[in-house]
Homo-oligomer: A and B are copies of this chain.
């Protein structure tokens, strides 16, 4: 008989139907009630074993984590907590789970412990909810762009160019480090490496995406990117997934509109499609809050926060306005900030961004028109000659979730900038070609996917929203 999954069954009303279920035992109580989960939903189906007519040897093997196949009848439940249950006619143990050895027991495990068991943490309610949401968000990303006329562009992961300068890079090599080929001058002979030169893991697909936007009009990347930085924080990963749309003929205002519409759309998608998982995570955070001192509690629940983002306009504030606000704000005057804001031109730190978003505006904020010298070379210089058409989207609890800009489309201005920064023009010949042949205004941004997942799930540590996190000193599994 065809197997039914738990999600289908729980939304069914065909009582008395015969069903076959396969899944894993979450709990087994009173020698009678199995809470069965098969991953199709966070909810378990209760399966009631006729223990008087079941072998003691079988009953003993119904333990947390065991894989079972159950045949039975769907009936209305008389017990509290569920509307339906399965009256088991036969149960087969597919795979045992020795309770003396199985690390995931039906109790609260610390996230640290679960990170060490990242291959099993997905069997818990919290992580299965987070990863189902991650999957739904991922689909919402593709769905948004495709429905809006964008083309998915697969940026190269291994790159021979290191001009982007977004961060430290990982080297990719097939040279035998115990026996390196050397040139006459004693240096390593990179011409003997796989690609005939030094190659690295990409930090961003933007420059390549720009070449495609200048032909296909609207493109987006969604792929892994890498930073070899020794950042051990709750907001950084060495390997993370990034979304980078790039649109020909869009200026910075269009870019802000796109970022805001995109974020609202993907969050709406999960609000509509992941109700059970979100309800679970919402409750989890609410419970967690209760154990905190009042001052540290969230002002909004997870669902309230998500709805707030969808329903309210992001506040758009120029860098210059933001500096004015920060210079005159209490924490600055009382020297509560670690970095005091004295003058225009200062780089904003996380503490300043959080003040603006969480205390001052109390909503997502888009900062724009930053000083040129704290931003990347490819950003469009404003007519004032000192600011660039950059934008950052700042989110409560997360900080920067999007960084983008209108790109410098003028060949002469771009070349001058590249030369000032001592970047080799030859390294970027192909990028400069986009300005040489049929250049046009264009804009794009990068969104760190894991930060979006963090925001949407309410998880505090970015290592808990990606299946197998890579961080300094950690590449297990």
Contacts and interface: CB of A to CB of B under 8 A. Distances in A.
Contact of A67 (B39, B67, B97, B438): B438
Interface string A351-368: 000000000000000000
Nearest to A201: B172
Contacts of A119: 208, 211, 430-431, 433-434
How many copies of the chain does the oligomer comprise?
2
A194 B441 contact: no
Contacts of A5: 149, 217
A168 interface: yes
A467 B477 CA distance: 30
A11 B474 CA distance: 53
Q: Which of A38, A155, A216, A438 has the most CB of B within 10 A?
A: A438
Interface in A197-255: 197, 199, 201, 208, 211-212, 214-218, 223-224, 226, 228, 238-239, 241, 248-249
A156 B40 contact: no
A217 B472 contact: no
A238 B194 contact: yes
Given A67-B438, A156-B468, 4 more contacts: A131-B153, A159-B475, A170-B173, A174-B228
22 contacts: A39-B215, A65-B437, A67-B440, A95-B435, A98-B436, A119-B434, A128-B216, A131-B151, A135-B151, A156-B467, A156-B475, A158-B170, A158-B226, A159-B477, A160-B475, A160-B477, A178-B188, A194-B228, A194-B473, A196-B473, A196-B474, A208-B477
Interface of A: 3, 5, 7, 22-25, 38-40, 65-67, 94-98, 101-102, 118-120, 122-123, 128, 131-132, 134-136, 138-139, 142, 146, 149, 151-161, 168, 170-175, 177-178, 180, 187-188, 194-197, 199, 201, 208, 211-212, 214-218, 223-224, 226, 228, 238-239, 241, 248-249, 409, 430-431, 433-441, 466-468, 470, 472-477
Q: Which 4 A-B pairs have the closest CB atoms?
A: A95-B439, A39-B217, A39-B216, A195-B475
